[in-house]
Structure 1
Amino acid sequence: MARKSLVGEVADELLDRIISGEFVPGALVPGELELVEHHEVSRMTVREAIKTLTAQNILRVERGRGTFVNPVNRWSSLHAVLRATSEGTNGNDAAVQLIELRRMLETGACELAAARISEDDLAALDVFVGQMRDAHDAGDLERFVDADLAFHDVILHASENAFVAVLFEPLSRVLAERRSETSAVPEIQEHAIAMHQRVASALHSRNPHAAREAMDAHMQQTLDDLRTYVLKS
């Protein structure tokens, strides 16, 4: 058990070095002897740590050439991807990709929710839009973000697809951090309020096509605002 723990520690330290940009995608990872010296562990521990990261597709071993870092989009560990997203140096790409993921999942969830959402949930959406307006007027960023996240959470659960909510749960911390970054811009808040109202109205109509279109327009506006006000690209 102790050896497994040590292997995990070395694997985490290697992942830290990758996420920090010390070893960029495509880079050759130092050989066993150098890693043994750096981490002050045995060669067996280093080998097992490399195996751990290779199994998660973070690293790839090329026979006769060495061990290389894979790009994040090839990683198969959600935990590692989330760490790279929240702690990595390439935050701009991660921010765009997160919206792309939300667009793929949330437009479908909104379409499903249109035919399944309860009257109580519809009322909750209206409450959260009102809270966003109040928070915007009061300059209360934390309350604005909380209402924004709660609005989307209602829709995800109203889709009545258990997989959707489960997929989003690990993303909650990263989503909250990103919302706090983008929602600090007053213009983005104004756009978000209008788009949330549009989504709520579409759901009130119980029209799946309109609901999907409204959420898709919201995601496009979110992406446009990110590029205009935050990434400035």
Structure 2
Amino acid sequence: MARASLAESVFEEILERIISGTYPPGEFLPSEGELAAATEVSRLTVREALKKLQAQNVVQVRRGLGTYVNPSAQWTDLQAILRSATAASASPDVSLRLLEIRRMVEIGAAELAALHATDEDLARMEDANAALQAAHQAGDLDAVTTADLAFHEAVFRASANPFIPVILGPLGKLLYSMRRETSSFLEVQKHALEHHALVLDAIRTGDAEVAGKAMQAHINQTYDDYEHFIHHNDQHQEQR
């Protein structure tokens, strides 16, 4: 048990160094002996930690060469991926990848919501939109972000598919950070209010195609907002 605990600690330390860029993707880790000295444990404990990293495809062993760090896109453990993404949350690539996930999941969720939404689901969406309107008028950015996400969560619940919230649930922290960043612009808040109302009306029709198109228009607007208000602004600041 003691060695297992030590191996877990070493695993965490090596993973943190990989995420921080001390051991960057595309390069080899120090030897087992060097890692053992750096972490003050035995080589056997380091070997166990490396086996776990290898099982998650964070690293791969190349015979005769050493242990190579894989790009995070090849990792297979969700928690490790989330830790890496959170550390790089300011990266435009992370925001765009999140938008891609939202497009894939949320359009389908809206289609299902049109078929399955109950009066309670519709009321939950209305409440979220009312909260968003109130937060917008009060200039409360945190409340705006919370209400924005609450509307989408209500759509997920209305889909009657319990797996949909599970898919995006672990991404909550990243989604909140991204949405808060874009929602800091009043025009983006207005776009959200307009599109949420359109999505709700579309779901009320009971027509999956209509609801899917309304959500697609909303996600497309979110892409445009990100490009206009965030990505271009970041580029401008880099050029100054």
What range describes the TM-score normalised by the shorter chain of this pair? over 0.9
* Structure 1 position 224, deviation (Å): 2.1
* Structure 1 position 146, deviation (Å): 1.2
Is contact 2:135–2:144 with CA below 8 Å preserved after alignment?
A: yes
* Structure 1 position 101, deviation (Å): 0.9
Counterpart residue identity of residue 109, structure 2: A
CA distance in 1, matches of 2:90, 2:144: 27
Is contact 2:59–2:69 with CA below 8 Å preserved after alignment?
A: yes
**SS of structure 1 residue aligned to 2:128:** helix
**SS of structure 1 residue aligned to 2:105:** helix
- 1:153-172 matches, within 5 Å, as 153-172=153-172
* Structure 1 position 21, deviation (Å): 1.9
Q: Does 1:144 align with 2:144?
A: yes
Q: Which string of whole-angstrom CA distances, capped at 9 and with x for unpartnered residues, describes residues 19-74 of structure 1?
A: 11222221211111211111111101111111111101111111122211111121
**SS of structure 2 residue aligned to 1:132:** helix
Classify 1:185/1:123 alpha carbon distance in 2 versus 1 (closer, same or farther; 3 Å): same
| Aligned equivalent of 1:102 | 102
| Aligned equivalent of 2:230 | 230
Is contact 1:92–1:231 with CA below 8 Å preserved after alignment?
A: yes
Is contact 2:10–2:49 with CA below 8 Å preserved after alignment?
A: yes
| Aligned equivalent of 2:63 | 63
CA distance in 2, matches of 1:19, 1:224: 30
CA distance in 2, matches of 1:9, 1:222: 40
CA distance in 2, matches of 1:187, 1:117: 29
Classify 1:5/1:149 alpha carbon distance in 2 versus 1 (closer, same or farther; 3 Å): same
Is contact 1:156–1:165 with CA below 8 Å preserved after alignment?
A: yes
Is contact 2:89–2:174 with CA below 8 Å preserved after alignment?
A: no
Unaligned 5+ segments in structure 2 are: 236-240
CA distance in 1, matches of 2:180, 2:153: 16
Classify 1:88/1:45 alpha carbon distance in 2 versus 1 (closer, same or farther; 3 Å): farther
**SS of structure 2 residue aligned to 1:231:** helix
TM-score (ref. length: structure 1): 0.94
Counterpart residue identity of residue 110, structure 1: A
Q: Which string of whole-angstrom CA distances, capped at 9 and with x for unpartnered residues, describes residues 154-182 of structure 1?
A: 11111111211222222222222222222
CA distance in 1, matches of 2:58, 2:2: 24
* Structure 1 position 89, deviation (Å): 6.9
Is contact 1:21–1:88 with CA below 8 Å preserved after alignment?
A: no
Shift >6 Å, 4+ stretches: none
| Aligned equivalent of 1:75 | 75
CA distance in 2, matches of 1:11, 1:197: 47
| Aligned equivalent of 1:19 | 19
TM-score (ref. length: structure 2): 0.92
| Aligned equivalent of 2:182 | 182
Is contact 2:56–2:77 with CA below 8 Å preserved after alignment?
A: yes
Counterpart residue identity of residue 225, structure 2: D
* Structure 1 position 83, deviation (Å): 0.8
| Aligned equivalent of 1:4 | 4
CA distance in 1, matches of 2:227, 2:49: 38
Classify 1:96/1:45 alpha carbon distance in 2 versus 1 (closer, same or farther; 3 Å): same
Aligned residues: 233
CA distance in 2, matches of 1:97, 1:2: 39
- 1:32-47 matches, within 5 Å, as 32-47=32-47
RMSD of aligned alpha carbons = 1.5
Is contact 1:109–1:159 with CA below 8 Å preserved after alignment?
A: yes
CA distance in 1, matches of 2:205, 2:183: 28
